Amino acid sequence: MSSAVSEQRVLSGMRPTGSLHLGHYHGVLKNWVKLQHEYECFLFVADWHALTTHYEDPRVIEESVWDMVIDWLAAGINPGSATLFIQSRVPEHAELHLLLSMMTPLGWLERVPTYKDQIEQLKEKDLATYGFLGYPLLQSADILMYRAGQVPVGADQVSHIELTREVARRFNYLYGREPGFEELVEQAIQKMGKKSAKLYRSLLNKYQEQGDESALETAHALVREQQNITLSDKERLHGFIEGSGKVILPEPQALLTPASKMPGLDGRKMSKSYNNTITMRDSEDDVMHKIRTMPTDPARVRLTDAGDPEKCPVWQWHLVYSDDSTRNWVQQGCKTAGIGCLECKKPLIDSVQEELKPIRIRASEYAGNPDLVKSIVAEGCEKARDAAKQTLEEVREAMGLGYF
């Protein structure tokens, strides 16, 4: 259910644990670039999250942070449209995480499916730490801090958004009940002015008497667009619609990122640990070499052996990069041994070079101007902190820490 949430605000983060590759580009970055035109985007480097798994050897984190920001910019993230920041430079995230930890049942964290999965998968690391158990709660703090309505994530992260929603609900339940709530709501309704007040009441009626969900949506929207009432009053009015107390931390939605079709050079998922990537900064020569040496259908030993594209990772790449006519040419040529594998790879080399050319140029511009990159991030951190401080102030107040 929507609420006081900034429907139009998107928040997402990425862990700095190595160079970004075409998997990130096709899977995440192109999506972010699109979203930055449709929403108010806060995008951040999740360096503390990286530390939960890389605490024994954190060097890769510091080596990756700035390059990652550069890769975002090179991919087309526009610092004029999106706010870019680094998690550890907005220490308010740590305070919110701490405060949320007070009211989050241990079982909720132990039951997040990624918890046991990751411990199992990353056996070489000791993840029996306090920090790693808290990973998804830190993520909840990241999200709730900005009251983001939409969180673009892959399917593997949906359980973390679900946890975030539960934490928000519990927080609002515990701390959104203030003495005299009903009277305060009544006063807030009147502050909206005659017309809006009347509309608010009638929408509420429609929802309560007829279960009209769209009336509920409209009522939230009406509250959201009020200019003359305080944030606290808005939270009361949102909460009243839901039949709860104040909605201090609104529940976000996962904005599921469509699964990337971009496989690795060997046909498995593209991943640094499989050593099957093309990074966003690979040189022209690297790209050529890597594609030329991609494995193909093992049945094609000689040029005269016919092949089957379904058994070949190169074909998967044609599905990403090639149009119908090229695909037909591949299907035909492969099955009749009419083309060689190097020939088949040629259009892919061209497409990847074409795709990476402007990215490389922008990346080298930013890489050559580290001061510019730092100032973009510094500005983003400042903007993020402003938003974060507002939320924290209310959270402190609600949790009884407002006696300063």
Q: How far is CA 103 from CA 78, 137, 163, 338, in A?
A: 38, 11, 13, 66
By the rule CB under 6 A, 68 interacts with ligand SF4 = no
Q: Which among ligand SF4, ligand TRP, none contacts residue 49 (Cβ within 5 to 8 A by kind)?
A: ligand TRP
Does the annotation list 23 as a binding residue? yes
Does the annotation list 273 as a binding residue? yes
Nearer to ligand SF4, 314 or 395 (CB): 314
Give the number of residues in contact with ligand SF4, rule: CB under 6 A.
13
Per-residue HEC secondary structure of 55-87 comes to CCCCHHHHHHHHHHHHHHHHHCCCCCCEEEEEH
User: Measuring CA to CA, which residue among 366, 273, 353, 275 is closest to residue 67?
Assistant: 366
Residue numbers 42-101 binding ligand TRP by CB under 6 A? 46, 49
Nearer to ligand TRP, 127 or 153 (CB): 153
Does the annotation list 15 as a binding residue? yes
User: Measuring CA to CA, which residue among 247, 237, 246, 239 is closest to residue 199?
Assistant: 237
Residue numbers 99-158 binding ligand TRP by CB under 6 A? 139, 142-143, 151, 153, 157
By the rule CB under 6 A, 341 interacts with ligand SF4 = yes
Selected from 219, 344, 352, 395, the binder of ligand SF4 by CB under 6 A is 344
By the rule CB under 6 A, 12 interacts with ligand TRP = yes
Q: At what angle do helices 158-175 and 370-398 cross, to 10 degrees?
A: 40
Q: Which among ligand SF4, ligand TRP, none contacts residue 395 (Cβ within 5 to 8 A by kind)?
A: none
Order of strands across the sheet with 82-86? 82-86, 40-45, 6-14, 148-153, 253-256
By the rule CB under 6 A, 11 interacts with ligand TRP = yes
Shortest CB 156 distance to ligand TRP, Å:
8
Does the annotation list 391 as a binding residue? no
Residue numbers 155-174 binding ligand TRP by CB under 6 A? 157
Please name the amino acid found at residue 334.
C
10 Å CB burial of residue 182 (0-12, 13-18, 19+) is exposed
By the rule CB under 6 A, 392 interacts with ligand TRP = no
User: Measuring CA to CA, which residue among 163, 20, 61, 49 is closest to residue 104?
Assistant: 163
Selected from 314, 376, 377, 387, the binder of ligand SF4 by CB under 6 A is 314
Sign of CA dihedral 43, 167, 56, 21: negative
Shortest CB 222 distance to ligand TRP, Å:
28
Strand partners, 239: none
Residue numbers 18-37 binding ligand SF4 by CB under 6 A? none
Q: How far apart are CA 69 and CA 356, in angstroms?
A: 17
Nearer to ligand TRP, 15 or 360 (CB): 15
For the beta carbon of residue 262, count every other beta carbon within 10 angstroms.
20
Q: How far is CA 185 from CA 113, 197, 245, in A?
A: 39, 11, 10
Q: Are 301 and 334 in contact (CB under 8 A)?
A: no
Shortest CB 61 distance to ligand SF4, Å:
38
The per-residue DSSP string of 313-343 comes to HHHHHHHHH--HHHHHHHHHHHHTT-S-HHH
Shortest CB 323 distance to ligand TRP, Å:
32
Does the annotation list 272 as a binding residue? yes
Sign of CA dihedral 139, 230, 226, 184: positive
Does the annotation list 71 as a binding residue? no
Nearer to ligand SF4, 152 or 309 (CB): 309
Residues that constitute the known binding site for L-tryptophan: 142
- Residues found near ligand SF4 in the complex (CB under 6 A): 296-297, 300, 307, 309, 312, 314-315, 330, 334, 339, 341, 344
Residues that constitute the known binding site for ATP: 15-17, 23-24, 154-156, 269-273
